[in-house]
Structures are given as C-alpha cells and as structure tokens.
Amino acid sequence: MSVLMAWLLALLLGLLLMVALYGRPRSPAAWVGAAGYAVPLGLLGCALLVSLPASLGWRELPPSLWCWPAVLLPLLGALAWRRSDRARAVPAGRAVLDDLVPPRWARAALMVMLVLVALRALWLYQEAWLRPLFGWDAWLAWSAKAKAWLLGGEALPFVDGQAWLDAGDGGVRTSLAHDYPELLSWLQVWMGSAAGGWREPVINLVWPTLWLALLAGCYGQWRALAVPRLTAGAGTYVLASLPLANVHAALPGYADLWVATLFVFAVLATVRWRESGDPSQLLLALLLAALLPAIKLEGMVWTAGVLALMLWFALRGRRLLFRALTVLAWVTVLLLVSWWWELAWLRQTIELFTLGPAGNVNNVLTATGAGLFTQYNWHLLWYLLPVVVVWRRRAMLANPSLLGLGLMLAGGLGLLLVLFLCTQAGRWAESFTAVNRLVLHIAPIAVSFMVLLLRRREEPAEPSVRPA
C-alpha cells in the first residue's frame, strides 16, 4: 500500500510542479506531456528531498522516509493553485506526414502504433517486475549504495579506498563507484523505504515507468511545438521502438535512460522557450539540466550542451561569430568552475584524455559504425537522420531553433566520436560496452530533431494560434 502511496506522491508532486511552472494543461496532449515530465521530476524530487538530511550530516534513515516528500505538497499545491487559471495556447501546426496521409489511414496507423507500444510496455513491465536486478553497473554502482544505506539504516558517505582504510570508526564506506553521483541511489532508497526494505522488483518498476514518461513527455512537447497528431504519434512509436531503450526499461538499474530522458526533456523545453517565448519553459529546462549531473558524471557535459543551446537562442539576432564565441566562452567558464571545485566529471575526463587513445582508430570506427548501423540497437534511426536533414535542410536553415538543435546534436555526436577516438574510452567502443549506451543519451534528441524537421511551419511561431 505504501508503495502505491509513494508512487501517487511522486506523480502528484511532479504534476503540481509542472502546473506551478507552466499552468494547468488544457488539452489531452498537454496532459500527456505534463504527466511525462511529472514522472522524472516527481521521482527525482522525492529522491532529492530524502537525500537532504544526509547531505547536512544527519545520516539516520528512519523507516518512514518515503513519506517525507509529502511536506512539499502544500507549497507546490499553493504554487499550482496560483498558476492554474492561466490560459495557455498552442500553435496549430502542419507536418509533411500529416499532409500526405488521409485522416482515415492516419487513424488506423496511429491505432497500430499504439497497439505495438502497449504490447511492448506490457512485456517491459513484466520483465522488470519478474527478474531480479540484472545489469552489471546497476549492482556495482547505484544499487550498491542504495542497498547499503537502506539495509544499514544509515547513509554513510562513500569515499575512496585510502580514506576508507584510514577511517578508524567505520563511519565511511567505499566502492569502485564511490564518486558516482548519488541521486539515483537515493531514489532507490526512497522507493525501497516505501516497499519496506530492499525489494528489487518494486524498485525496478521505476525504469519502465520512466520509459513511458519519456514517450509521453516527448509526445506532449512535440504537440505543443505544433507537430500534428500523426507525426507526433509516429515519432513516439519510433522512440518507443528503439531496442536499446527498451532493454534499459526491461533490465532496470542503469542511469542512461535517465540521462536520455532528462536531456531530451530539457532540450525540448529550451526549444519551446525559443519558439513560444514562454519563460516557464526556460525555467523547466534549467531545472532539468541542473538534475543531469546528479544522475551521471557525463550528465555535466550534456548540461553544458543545454546551457550552450539556451545561450545560442538568447543571442539570436547577434552575429554568428559573436554567438559562437560566447558559447565557447561559456564552455570555458564551465570547465574552469569544474576545475576550481575539483568536480569528478572533469577529473575523469582529464584522466581519459591524458592517458591518450586506447583503441585502434580502425577498430573504434568500425565498432562505432557497427553499433549505429548494423547491430540491432537503433533500427534505422542513424540511417534516417542524415536523410531527413538533407531532405528538410531548407526547413532547418529557415528555423533558428532547428538549426540550434541540429548544431547541438552534431556537437554531441562529434563529442562522442572524439571521446572514443582520442581517449581510453576507445576500449569501450571496441568492446561495445559503452558506445551505444552513450549514444542512447542523445537518441531521443535525434528523434525529436527529425520530428520537428517534418513540421511545415515558418518562423516566427506566432501564426494561427488556437486554444489548446
């Protein structure tokens, strides 16, 4: 029962936060989108809240931990109440696909896609529910910390090996992943406390739910970005059918699906801010971008990407060189701040680069190409992306938000290639252990980019506004 209450609490918190930021959704698509965003926001909000006492030095974890986030309900409820009467408007849109397909066929196609998504969701939930925690990094990194804290009843800090050896009172713990971000572990602690202990099947259900949230959030944002129903539905099916994303929902415990979800949600909110001028979307994007480094070390890189995209959009109307230099300056500032604070992500990145390339260039390129184009990870995604970009290049060049999004996506892909070619990460590419998981971080953005490219809409986004 408390598990159900915990889920309701997280969803309610997430929804109230969405309403407080953005106002009450006024259309089914907007509700779907808000619900999608509410899942990671609510879950991670609960995780953040229960982690706060430990970060302030209070390390005891009482059994009633799961209901702590309820203290946020009155505050968020009040904020949501204030925003609930705001009228919202969504631009009407057209897209290539919807213009081509007659409505009767469109409805049939949507039904088929919905059935395929629903069937998949059923199997993913069942797999996650039945099988105990499976993935290597799951029990080596995030779940190990959570299990230690929850079963020990005490959130002892994880330190490096030397500090663990030196500590005389046993007041610290250690693991190979001692410097990994801990928010997901806290989420597992929170969910475990609701389940009354370390119950892997219950905790595992978070992952397929996040996968559903990813689909819902993207669908809602695409619709709000004037993508009509068939194109948005087809995009959702494409996203839902990416096999590697399915695997991360079926075999829970990895952080990559979280990074992918938060990253694309932040980027879509940024694009929506750019196109609609709605500052609440900017706030939402900032909030999501801020959560990324708390999930995984490389989340910091993607946060930098989101912030660079915001800067790029904010400087619209300025000269291209000025915008590019400002974005570069921002990245430099971020690097300096990370160096000053000795952040783990920069330390690991420097280690990777200073040790030099590890893999043979040929092997790395072959393995990366195989991961994208011939293995069964992405269906046709990486074949289609360049085709759609070339086909819709005019639409892209005419729309600064799409151009910015395209630049960021190209930057992300380029960064991954540099990482594999020039650093020790080359070994991960050659062994197929990381290349696709890192690509998963940007795959939903690639799908979003293609969906948005299919729109038939000119800048600016003001025309024909209809009530949502």
Partner 1 sequence: MTHRRLLYAVLVLLAWAVVLVLLVPVPVTAPLQPERIEKLDGGSFIPVLGRSQVGERGLDIRSMDVDEGALQVRPLPGVQAGDFQVLRYRFEEFPRNLELVLVFRTREHPEDVQAVTIPTVVSGTGTVDLTAIDAWRGEIVELGFAQYPGPQSVPPASAFRPFTLVEAQLWSPSWRGAWAARMQDWFGPRSWALLSLSALGPDSALPKGRSLVAPVVLGALAAVLLGVLVLGWRGQAVLPPAILAVALAWLLLDLRWLHGLHARYASTGEIYSGLPAEERQRRLPDQALYDSAQMVRRVLGGSSERNLRVFVDAGADFQRARLLYHLLPMNVAPVNMVGLGTPEQRAGAILVLYNVERLRYDAGDGMLRDATGAMPAIELFDLGPLRVYRFPGIRP
Assess 362 for contact with partner 1 (CB under 8 A). no
Assess 245 for contact with partner 1 (CB under 8 A). no
Size of site (CB under 8 A) for partner 1: 73
Q: Minimal distance in Å, beta carbon 192 to partner 1?
A: 12
Distance from the first to the final alpha carbon of the chain: 36
Q: Minimal distance in Å, beta carbon 123 to partner 1?
A: 5
**DSSP for 188-241?**
HHHHHHHHTS--HHHHHTHHHHHHHHHHHHHHHHHHHTT--HHHHHHHHHHHHT
Helix (H) or strand (E) holding 42, with range, is helix 28-55
Assess 341 for contact with partner 1 (CB under 8 A). no
Stretch that binds partner 1, among 69-77, 131-139, 208-216, 298-306 (CB under 8 A): 131-139
Angle (nearest 5°) at CA 446 between 122 and 298: 90
Assess 139 for contact with partner 1 (CB under 8 A). yes
Assess 4 for contact with partner 1 (CB under 8 A). no
Assess 57 for contact with partner 1 (CB under 8 A). no
Of 254 and 313, CB closest to partner 1 = 254
Assess 230 for contact with partner 1 (CB under 8 A). no
3-state helix, strand, coil in the chain (%, to 5): 75, 5, 25
Assess 174 for contact with partner 1 (CB under 8 A). yes
135 contacts: CB under 8 Å, gap ≥ 6? 251, 252, 253, 254
- What x-and-dash track marks residues 195-224 binding partner 1 by CB under 8 A? ----xxxx----------------------
Assess 143 for contact with partner 1 (CB under 8 A). yes
Stretch that binds partner 1, among 10-18, 39-47, 137-145, 455-463 (CB under 8 A): 137-145
Assess 385 for contact with partner 1 (CB under 8 A). no
Assess 426 for contact with partner 1 (CB under 8 A). no
Stretch that binds partner 1, among 133-141, 180-188, 352-360, 412-420 (CB under 8 A): 133-141
CA distance linking residue 359 with residue 352, whole number of Å: 12
Assess contact for 114 and 185: CB atoms under 8 A. no
Q: Minimal distance in Å, beta carbon 138 to partner 1?
A: 9
Nearest Cα to Cα of residue 295 among 347, 258, 341, 249: 258
Distances (CA, A) of 270 to 74, 225, 267: 28, 11, 5
- Residue 103: how many other CB atoms lie within 10 Å: 10
Q: Minimal distance in Å, beta carbon 20 to partner 1?
A: 36
Q: Which of residues 35-54 bind partner 1 (CB under 8 A)?
A: none
- Residue 27: how many other CB atoms lie within 10 Å: 16
Of 128 and 271, CB closest to partner 1 = 128
Of 33 and 444, CB closest to partner 1 = 444
Assess 119 for contact with partner 1 (CB under 8 A). yes
Nearest Cα to Cα of residue 137 among 170, 177, 190, 86: 177
Assess 168 for contact with partner 1 (CB under 8 A). yes
Q: Minimal distance in Å, beta carbon 144 to partner 1?
A: 6
Of 155 and 271, CB closest to partner 1 = 155
Nearest Cα to Cα of residue 188 among 179, 175, 197: 197
Task: Classify burial at 335, counting beta carbons within 10 Å of its beta carbon; exposed 0-12, middle 13-18, buried 19 or more.
Answer: middle
Task: Among 323, 437, 441, 455, indicate the residue that binds partner 1 (CB under 8 A).
Answer: 437
Assess 170 for contact with partner 1 (CB under 8 A). yes
Stretch that binds partner 1, among 81-89, 164-172, 287-295, 330-338 (CB under 8 A): 164-172
Q: Minimal distance in Å, beta carbon 343 to partner 1?
A: 21
Stretch that binds partner 1, among 27-35, 61-69, 297-305, 435-443 (CB under 8 A): 435-443
DSSP state for residue 62 in the 8-state scheme = -
Provide the Cα torsion 270, 276, 279, 282; round to 10°.
0
CA distance linking residue 365 with residue 385, whole number of Å: 19
Which residue type occupies 334?
L
Stretch that binds partner 1, among 30-38, 83-91, 171-179, 267-275 (CB under 8 A): 171-179
Assess 348 for contact with partner 1 (CB under 8 A). no
